[in-house]
Structure 1
Amino acid sequence: MAHTSDIPADDWSEELDDKPGTDYAKRRPISRLTVLRAIAEVRMWWRDGVIADLDHVATIERVRGESLLTSRYVFMTAMSAGIAILGLLLSSPAVVIGAMLLSPLMNPIIGTGFSLATGDADWLRRCGKALAAGSIFAILFCALIVFLSPLQTVTEEIAARTRPNLFDLLVALFSALAGSYAVIRGREGTIVGVAIATALMPPLAVVGFGLATFNWTVFAGALGLFVTNLVTIGLTAAVMAKLYGFESDATKRKGKLQSLVILTVFIVMAVPLGFSLRTIAWEANGQRIVNQEVADAFSERARVDQPIVNWDSEPIAVSASVFTPEFSADADSEVAKRLERRLGRPVVVTIDQFQVGTDPGAAEQAALAQARAREAAEASERQIASLGRSLALIAGVDRQDVLLDRDNRRAQATAAPLEGMALAGYRELERRLERTAPGWTVELRPPLVSLPELGVGEEGLDTKNSRKLALILWAARRTGLRITLSGSEKALETVTGALGEERRRVDMRASESGDTVTAAWSTTATGQN
């Protein structure tokens, strides 16, 4: 690199010549030498004015001591995980924030970045061990709490951490820059705010929830958010450490390769997250278009309440309330046509028009009178949307695969096969979701998994086997398929007596003697009830 002392005096005079009256159009453009000189001066300022006063050894020792696996680290991880999962189950943001403040996961991630910058393989291995142990322990601890908890419903707080996007990556990036700077400059108090911003523990708690409930959609979405935060913070910390001179001679030689790898990782993560963000941005822009088209369909004296849009339905459902002195009979169809043209998707529009007087304040007065009714309708719509999202997450399917019948208040979905999930698990998932939606009938159609065997004693079916029979009948109702029961004539006779009116859903097949009745799926449909 050229320094100012190496530049000939003639070049200095030529570059700095700025005589009065000189025409700017005739001046020479900034030369490459001037640019190099400026870069050299910036590097000199950074080296002598910023990095020189840092105690690199003390900083490394402090970061190393806080990033290893210790008993305190394990205890604080357990407490943070427990608080996080309880806050998520209760849908309490305040409790979740408390878990973020306690989480010690930021320390080994920052340590990973510094070990990468300094090329310390042993330190990197020990940070990875601490991070892996803390993450796995937090997931299993949260899964245990969810398994023992009577609350196992997907809440809004849980659902909010299953859809990572590009903004999450940017939040982690900026938070890592702030956290690394605070560590390097000895301002650890800033880490508290960084821990809240990146929210490392809540996604891990949601991963544990997905594991406990065998909901792999929730599991994968939350794990993606955690990995996004982890990788972004670690690599950004490495870049900041190298920038502030925390690197060995070996890492300096490999600097370009490391920078290329880090840039590649960021790009690879940003692409899928960008697609997710594009969907969110499209919905936000679509809401603006809906507001504009509904307002343009009426006169300036009309008052339009915020339209409600259900993006998950097919076609898109738009509902709005308008207070207007002039009733428009074709407003629904006209707005629907314009929205279909601008959004490129089928749209169903329902506009409730309330005709008011011509007084300029009549529309506002009518809107105020309708405010409470509208608030109740919005709350109901939010409940329906939340029910649809929760059922899709529990069933492990896309939102458009969930059928919501508003008129009959019925929600239906066909569950995707979940490894290790028995028939009773699907029945329990349906019950738990139904308890969260009073007034709604939730129907979760299970996959064709193995049916339980029935044990028939001398006194007939005991309580345990009666529940198994009820479970078999539930599966027959949900799938619409008949069930074939095989066993001895005596055992089948006992089961037939317990079936009652449900006898029409099963076929009997007598076999060898014994007190066991096996159940199997049939290809004959019975119709769902």
Structure 2
Amino acid sequence: MASAPNDDELTSTGWIDRALDGRLEKYRRWWRMSVLETVDQEEVIKQRREEAYTSPRYLFMLAMSAGIAILGLLLSSPAVVIGAMLIAPLMGPIIGAGFALAIGDYRWLRGSAVALAAGTVLGIALTALIVFVSPLQTVTAEIAARTQPNLFDLAVAVFSALAGAYSMIRGREGTIVGVAIATALMPPLGVVGFGLATANWTVFSGALLLYVTNLMTIALVATLMARLYGFSARLSGKQTRWQTALIVAVFVALAVPLFFSLRQIVWESNAARLIRTTIIAQAGPMARLSNIEFDLNAQPVSVSATLLTPETRENAEELSEAALAKQLGRPVNLSLTQFRVGTGEDAEALEILAARASSRDALNEESRLLEERLAVVAGAGPDSITIDRDARRAVVRARIPGASLATYRTLEERITRASNEWTVRIEPPVIALPTIVFAEGELTEEGRAALDLVAWAAQRRAQPVSLTGGSSETRQVAAAVLAERGVATTLVVGGPVMTAGWATALDDTPAALPTG
């Protein structure tokens, strides 16, 4: 049985408690006099209120930010995406909601929530509309980067929100620019719109989780910072406890799915390493992996590998498949191709042949995906697409109702930029060619642009054009410009205005691959 403390022990313990209380009181006094009393709470609250409500300016800037964001995402341009982050006005109502919750101003909180809801709906609707009418609907690297949030994203949002709330409380709002870039509210919202427009619910749900994570984290961390700086003085103890419980519950609710997402990312990284090491271990120390592809989301897990080895093993595929299934804890479907190589020049030559074989398989798959994409984007059937895999070129006989020649040329440029070193040529249908404008016998800028478009269309169709009207001199000038582009012309006397047209009746037989 333990003995009761003696008087000396009680005296010692009491002295320590008094010393700790005194030190804590000293820090509280310093915090109150040196920090809290230097903050103009009324001015801070006034500024936060001004930016927290719905207004025409807020909706306009949000729409502009959403438009810039989705175009940057579709073009996979980080610079454009960053520009959208900087002008997005969502930070105002989010921080406002945090301060409103801290001081218990529920009218202000309701106004901020309405502004956030209106901005979110507008952003999703506008980005979805742009994606729906856009010829580009590919999941780019910028889009994919915002579809799998994890605990690290939550940590980024926490640190960014701490910096943002501090800068607003202490009057150093220049820091908010970095916070806007770090938390990236508008790009995830744009990806939500992309997922909605393309009915890609994996993209939709992942981006929505990232957006909600950033939004809630900024608001709740702003609440904690406001309370730390004394903005919650008017709240009762019961209200403070209720707020604390709410904040903890929200963070836990966000952390759980983000934790599982992070665990999945870690598993995939380890699985990729295990796949490589297991195949090599079963094939022998002299074997080398020439090419490997795998899909960890398939059921069973799909793995395709090309192996260079001095001695092929008949059961290498079965052994590797069984070992992988054991290591990954999932069924595996392995396709293993073995190339026997020796040493010296023969080994090098065979390795090159194996690499070419793997490259050919990859090229065939790439061309198949490109053909499917062109059929959707250009409104063409498979019989209207000609693919030259060796030259990495594709010709599409596009038919888009109501599209102009300028639209077809712009579409060709965009598809080519997004087609990973493939050259794409769009052959437009037989539609009206533009008028060639001259002023005092000289080509105008509009006339040069029209001739450039005529030359492009004639090259793509490999057909001559006719120039009708204008003076003899202007017809010769226009014909010379087209001749420089390799386009044959027929000159026809007509009225004072020069028009371009197709020189012959055209059929619908497939054209050869053009050289222009």
Q: How many residues align?
A: 369
Taking the TM superposition and a 5 Å limit, the aligned residue runs for 1:103-182 are 103-182=88-167
Q: 1:318 aligns with which of 303, 328, 334?
A: 303
Q: Does 1:99 align with 2:97?
A: no
1:277 alignment partner, SS class: helix
Contact 1:119 1:251 in 2 (8 A): no
Verify the 8 A CA contact 1:88 1:155 in the aligned structure 2. yes
In the alignment, is the contact (CA less than 8 A) between 2:123 and 2:189 conserved in 1?
Answer: yes
2:226 pairs, out of 217, 223, 241, with: 241
Q: Residue 336 of structure 1: CA displacement?
A: 1.3
Q: 1:198-241: per-residue Cα shift (whole Å, max 9, x none)?
A: 22112222333344455555444433332222112111111111
1:201 equivalent among 186, 189, 192: 186
**Which position in structure 2 is the counterpart of 1:6?**
none
Percent of aligned positions with the same letter in both sequences? 51
The equivalent residue for 2:407 is none
Aligned to 2:314: 329
Cα distance in 2 between the residues matched to 1:106 and 1:387: 43
Alignment-mate amino acid for residue 194 of structure 1: V
Alignment CA distance shift 1:321-1:253 (3 Å):
same
CA distance in 1, matches of 2:368, 2:219: 40
* CA distance in 1: counterparts of 2:219 and 2:358, whole angstroms: 47
How far apart in 2 are the matches of 1:11 and 1:42? 27
Q: 1:239 to 1:363 in 2, by over 3 A?
A: farther
Tell me what 1:5 maps to.
Answer: none
Indicate whether 1:284 and 2:269 are aligned: yes
**Residue 309, structure 1, aligned to residue 284, structure 2:** no
Give the direction of change, closer, same or farther, for the CA distance of 1:67–1:251 in structure 2 (3 Å limit): farther
| Native 8 Å contact 1:303 1:364 kept in 2 | no
SS in 1 for 2:298: coil
Q: Secondary structure at the match of 1:348?
A: strand
Equivalents in 1 of 2:134, 2:88: separation in Å?
22
Deviations 1:423-448 (CA, angstroms, capped at 9, x unpaired)? xxxxxxxxxxxxx999xxxxxxxxxx
SS in 2 for 1:304: strand
> Equivalent residue for 2:397?
none
In structure 1, what is the equivalent of residue 384 of structure 2?
Answer: none
Query: Which residue in 1 is equivalent to 2:259?
Result: 274
Structure-2 change in CA distance of 1:259 and 1:379 (3 Å): farther
- AA at the equivalent of 1:150: P
Is the contact between residue 290 and residue 307 of structure 1 (CA under 8 Å) also seen in structure 2? Answer: no
Structure-1 separation of matches of 2:292 and 2:133? 42
Extract unaligned runs of 5+ from structure 1: 1-9, 18-30, 389-435, 439-529
Contact 1:302 1:363 in 2 (8 A): no
- The CA deviation at 1:62 is 2.4
Is residue 291–residue 307 contact of structure 2 (8 Å, CA) maintained in 1? no
> C-alpha displacement at 1:259, in angstroms?
0.5
Deviation at 1:251, TM superposition (A): 5.0
Query: 1:81 matched to which residue of 2?
Result: 66
Q: What is the CA distance between 1:345 and its match in structure 2?
A: 1.2
The aligned counterpart of 2:385 is none
CA distance in 1, matches of 2:35, 2:348: 60
Deviation at 1:81, TM superposition (A): 0.5
- Whether 2:211 is the aligned partner of 1:229: answer no
Report the Cα distance in structure 2 between the residues aligned to 1:288 and 1:72, rounded to whole angstroms.
51
**1:388-399 counterparts in 2 under 5 A?**
none
- The one-character-per-residue Cα deviations of 1:232-269 (angstroms, maximum 9, x if unpaired) are 21111111111122223225552122111110111122
The SS at the match of 2:173 is coil
Structure 1's 185 and 358: CA in aligned 2 closer, same or farther, altered over 3 A? Answer: farther
CA displacement at 1:382 relative to structure 2: 8.5
CA separation in 1, counterparts of 2:93 and 2:355?
A: 51
Deviation at 1:47, TM superposition (A): 3.4
Q: Which one of the candidate residues 50, 56, 69 is aligned to 1:65?
A: 50
Hey, what's the Cα distance between the residues in 1 that align with 2:363 and 2:162?
Answer: 40
Is 1:340 the counterpart of 2:325 in the alignment? yes
Pair 43,362 (structure 1): closer, same or farther in 2 beyond 3 Å: farther
Assess, with a 3 A threshold, how the Cα gap between structure 1 residues 355 and 79 changes in structure 2: closer, same or farther. Answer: same
1:463-502 aligned within 5 A: none
CA contact (8 A) 1:291 1:306 kept: no
CA distance in 2, matches of 1:16, 1:382: 78
Bigger mean CA offset, 115-124 vs 156-165: 156-165
> 3-state DSSP class of the match of 1:351?
strand
How far, CA to CA, are the matches of 1:383 and 1:254 in structure 2? 62
Q: Establish whether residue 188 from structure 1 lines up as the match of residue 173 from structure 2.
A: yes
Paired position in structure 2 for 1:261:
246
CA displacement at 1:271 relative to structure 2: 2.0
Which amino acid in the other structure matches residue 236 of structure 1? V
The CA deviation string for residues 166-211 of structure 1, in whole angstroms up to 9 with x for no partner, is: 3333332222122222222333222222222222112222333344
**Amino acid in the other structure paired with 1:81:** A
Three-state SS of the structure 1 residue aligned to 2:304 is strand
Per the alignment, do residues 383 and 65 of structure 1 end up closer, same or farther by CA in structure 2, a change over 3 Å counting? Answer: farther
Q: Distance in 2 between matches of 1:69 and 1:138?
A: 14
Say which is worse superposed, 266-275 or 44-53, in terms of deviation. 44-53
Instruction: Call closer, same or farther: CA 1:148–1:310 in 2, change over 3 Å.
Output: closer
Task: Tell me the amino acid that sits aligned with residue 118 of structure 1.
Answer: I
Kindly tell me: are residues 16 and 217 of structure 1, through their superposed partners in 2, closer, same or farther at Cα, counting changes over 3 Å? closer
Change (3 A) 1:371 1:192: farther
Q: Structure 1 length as normaliser, TM-score?
A: 0.60
**Deviation for aligned residue 1:79:** 1.0
Superposition RMSD in Å: 3.9
SS of equivalent residue, structure 2 residue 131: helix
Question: Secondary structure of the equivalent of 2:334?
Answer: strand
TM-score of the pair, normalised by structure 2: 0.61
CA distance in 2, matches of 1:93, 1:373: 35
